[in-house]
Structure 1
């Protein structure tokens, strides 16, 4: 419930604009505000750019720069690691402009935002790999990039999206492998078999799928299931580590 409340507050804050920014951003004409915001974007001054763009979005929600302001806010939020605000802005833009000429870029950015949400700052700093982390943001990112390829196969972002899907597929497969290993250590043999089978079904062309075969064999042996165990031995022989 608290998470839903926080999301609602973020969305409400976004739609209403940032009142504190209205106090610090000068009341210039929209053309001047937008020009200044673009200059800040080009310099990588994300916070200042966001302040000016939010002021524009709040003061002139239906002005001449409205669409571009929202697109720029998506980018600035993403670069500033304000991922919740970036996602809220993307969802708002997609609702209001389902057939916009920049829709492929918006879907692509949604994938990048979800990939960003799959990161952990502590893990990045310590260069730690944690395959047991909740992969829900990675699943969302994978779905976003797949949607981009299905709807906009000729998009200039399609090649990068396809490459990112490969990385995400390995991330998701490694999570399933970590889960199967956990069940093996807990001696939950049926659950381990189910995880291994799902991994081999959904991500058959990954290293994790091959690494899951010995786990599945052990589970079958512990369950006394000789026939599937023998099939698994043959698969291991055909797919040596």
Structure 2
């Protein structure tokens, strides 16, 4: 992004403070002796122009000095809040916070940027930072998956609001991963119920996977578990339908082989009942390349 540099010698507030200091010093000195003139500009020299601070921030970022980079970007926000560099500094500081692992501050900074400059050319990047911040906090499927849901929402916003941005492809990949995590969590809970022979509760979890996350890696096992749970309840029609859908989409999988063998122990074979919810959900599946 090309940003027009405007030379500034310091904020008016800083100059007023410097002038006040000069008057106070002059008042004290007047009762003692005559002093030479004081350069007011020199008193305000501790406030650097925004372009200087911004370039220093970039240099520190490139050098891996993240804390110092953040300090420079934050200085722009404080000292030159209405400059052209303030916008760039805000989104860059959000990125620095992300790099530091301070994800809450990264989300806060990027969200503030979007609220102030929703139509700016770096808005897609700010939204992407929010998605990345949630994505990096995704835990193992045995843990809470709240951040998976947040990552999906944030990355979907990248795809929907900025379809031509360079971040769309990676956002879509991270959405697929996060959806697989949510499906994996459902599978983990479903297997727990299945082991406890709480078949209805297990079926509800496996159904969620098939209906809500049809294009994830978890669907293959979910269908096989539906065969197992329904067969255990004596719901052979549903078990046969689940096996038929599994065989249609994953004919070479071990899950299908195991499901087929289970049905054969009762003299049954896969057979699809088109009136079953499993059959309707199976129409949305796209097989092993999902």
The structure with the larger Rg is: 2
Which consecutive aligned stretches of 4+ in structure 1 deviate over 6 angstroms post-superposition? none
CA shift digits 1:142-186 (9 cap, x unpaired): 222222222222111112222222222322222221121122123
Whether the 8 Å contact between 2:142 and 2:185 is mirrored in structure 1 is yes
Instruction: Identify the residue that residue 208 of structure 2 maps to in structure 1.
Output: 198
Q: Which has the higher helix share?
A: 1
Query: Which of 170, 183, 191 is the matching residue for 1:181?
Result: 191
For residues 30 and 159 of structure 1, what CA distance do their matches in structure 2 show? 34
Higher RCO, 1 vs 2 (CA within 8 Å, ≥6 residues apart): 1
For residues 210 and 161 of structure 1, what CA distance do their matches in structure 2 show? 25
What is the root-mean-square deviation of aligned Cα atoms in Å?
Answer: 1.9
TM-score (norm 1): 0.78
For residues 119 and 50 of structure 2, what CA distance do their matches in structure 1 show? 25
Whether the 8 Å contact between 2:176 and 2:216 is mirrored in structure 1 is no
For residues 125 and 48 of structure 2, what CA distance do their matches in structure 1 show? 30
Q: Does 1:136 align with 2:146?
A: yes
Unaligned runs of 5+ in 2: 1-45, 255-290
Task: Tell which deviates more after alignment, 74-83 or 170-179.
Answer: 170-179
Instruction: Identify the residue that residue 84 of structure 1 maps to in structure 2.
Output: 104
Q: Report how many aligned residue pairs link the two structures.
A: 206
Mapping 1:61-76, distance limit 5 Å: 61-76=81-96
For residues 61 and 178 of structure 1, what CA distance do their matches in structure 2 show? 49
Whether the 8 Å contact between 2:230 and 2:238 is mirrored in structure 1 is yes
TM-score (norm 2): 0.66
**1:27 offset after TM fit, Å?**
4.1
Instruction: Identify the residue that residue 169 of structure 2 maps to in structure 1.
Output: 159
For residues 64 and 152 of structure 1, what CA distance do their matches in structure 2 show? 23
Q: Does 1:41 align with 2:58?
A: no
For residues 69 and 217 of structure 1, what CA distance do their matches in structure 2 show? 56
Unaligned runs of 5+ in 1: 1-25, 120-129
Query: Which of 148, 157, 172 is the matching residue for 2:158?
Result: 148
For residues 186 and 126 of structure 2, what CA distance do their matches in structure 1 show? 29
Aligned in 2, Cα 1:212/1:52: closer, same or farther, shift over 3 Å? same
For residues 224 and 196 of structure 2, what CA distance do their matches in structure 1 show? 16
Mapping 1:212-223, distance limit 5 Å: 212-223=222-233
For residues 237 and 174 of structure 1, what CA distance do their matches in structure 2 show? 21
Aligned to 1:207, the other structure's residue is in SS state coil
